[in-house]
Amino acid sequence: MSSNFGHLNKNITFFFQCSTSSQLIHAPLEAILFDIDGTLCDSDPIHYHAFVEMLQEVGFNGGVPISEEFFVENISGKHNEELSHLLLPDWEFGKAMQFMDDKEALFRKLAGTELKRLDGLDKLLKWIEDRGLKRAAVTNAPKPNAEMMITNLGLSDFFETVVLAENCERAKPYPDPYLKGLETLNASPKNTIVFEDSISGTKAGVAAGMAVVAVGIRNPEKLLIEAGATYVIKDYNDQKLWNSLEEMSTKAQ
């Protein structure tokens, strides 16, 4: 797995636009960018369990466990620095970030070897490899989590590079991580598809000028479409996805 994250051209300023207009998918397809959490594997339930346990320990919400709805609306897909301010606004920043680090360690412990590729992902990965498409993982997850998930899913040799938000100036929902992914792969945004599952990640992909196919396992389809997803699939066996890929392949001939 390459650790070459590349560097953004400092002479160019990328403006984040919270756009709700979806991008079209253009042929020929050149590259695929994948989020990791919730996109390659259904990891959100494990994150939810870890947050429930740790937030209860510090008396968050009066000790009442957070709901799944709260998790989806306020936590899923966000970067830890943002979450430290959101969940623990009265804490000293270093202490809040240590809490987040401890939560991530608990997540890795709970995840263990339980992570499994989403249904249909094997079929899509083979389709990508057969066509020699460029590919990268782009994530808000901290490096230890990203490495653990990619290794446990057996995808270390699949991705050409992994872009971590912590190595970018701004995390998702800003476009910076996806722009860095495009730059590292030397790919055109109009000929690249992003696979995402979160609202913030979908906004980031759209703001970077790419079509986003959202995996609607945990986040409501309505919110993903409002965030700019071109369309939403239930998993990688969804016929909607394969009809789209077949149409693109036909146009590229």
Q: Which residue carries 């987040």 as its tokens?
A: 100
Question: How many other CB atoms sit within 10 Å of the CB of residue 89?
Answer: 8
Measured CA angle at 17 (ends 11, 20), to 5 deg: 150
Handedness of CA 113, 119, 121, 126 (dihedral sign): positive
Q: Which residues are CB-neighbours of 249 under 8 A, at least 6 positions away?
A: 27, 29
Q: In Å, what is the CA distance from 31 to each residue of 44, 188, 196?
A: 26, 8, 14
What residues have CB less than 8 Å from 103, skipping those under 6 apart? 50, 51, 54
- Residue found under tokens 């495009």: 182
Kindly write down the DSSP assignment for every residue of 22-91, as one continuous string: PPPP-SSP-EEEE--BTTTB--HHHHHHHHHHHHHHTTGGGGPPPPHHHHHHHTTT--HHHHHHHH-TTS
How many Cα atoms sit within 13 Å of 43 on the Cβ side?
A: 31
Task: Note whether 26 and 191 are within 8 A (CB).
Answer: yes
CB burial of residue 43 (10 Å; 0-12, 13-18, 19+): buried
Is there a catalytic annotation at residue 37? yes
State the catalytic residue, choosing from 37, 44, 176, 197: 37
Active site residue 35: yes
Which of 35, 42, 44, 197 is labelled catalytic? 35
Active site residue ranges: 35, 37
